[in-house]
Amino acid sequence: MANKNVGRVLELFISTKESSKRVNKPILKVDEFGVLEDKFYNKQINRSVLITSIHSYELIKSYEIDMPLGSLGENIFIDYNPYNLPIGTQLKIGNTLLEISQNCTICTHLSAIDTRIPKLIKNYRGIFAKVIKGGEILKEDFVYILEE
């Protein structure tokens, strides 16, 4: 299998029970149950990791809506648009291996920021991935698509 470099990790986030805001992290530790320290850890294995592209925030900004990074609920924010990759595509990030499991559905809580957001990013909020091989993901790690 070959690895195709498609992008880079720009930011990393977790959700905590203590705060409604995402917490920015320099390193994400993941295992087969998801993102360690995240409040959704070991909840839904096929929705363990949410990956969002810079494309989503650029789309929102093009409508003059200011939204801070992390607002879409992402764990991994990248500079590559993975939204058209098929389910089952594997991504190598850092020393981890993730597999795209489903497109992210839109959450109505985004309407609290701006009522236009759910419709604007209906198909561009992010993708969910499950962890195939755990490890660590760091800011600036490369994102590779595994090709057969």
- What total number of domains does the chain contain? 1
**Which pLDDT belongs to residue 86?**
96
Distances (CA, A) of 133 to 35, 47, 66, 73, 136: 12, 15, 35, 22, 10
Handedness of CA 124, 125, 130, 134 (dihedral sign): positive
| 74 within 8 A of 51, measured Cβ to Cβ | yes
Q: How many CB atoms lie within 10 A of CB 6?
A: 16
Greatest C-alpha distance within the chain: 44
Handedness of CA 67, 35, 45, 53 (dihedral sign): positive
Beta-bridge partners for 146:
3
Tokens of 77: 């924010």
| 68 within 8 A of 144, measured Cβ to Cβ | no
Instruction: Spell out where 15-141 has E strands.
Output: 23-24, 27-31, 34-35, 49-53, 76-78, 90-93, 96-103, 127-133, 135-138
Q: 90 φ, ψ to 5°?
A: -105, 135
83-142 per-position pLDDT tens digit? 999 999 999 999 999 999 999 877 777 888 899 998 888 888 999 999 999 999 999 999
**Which pLDDT belongs to residue 7?**
97
Domain span holding position 136: 2-147
40-68 per-position pLDDT tens digit? 999 999 999 999 999 999 999 999 999 99
Indicate which CATH number applies to the domain containing 137: 2.40.33.20
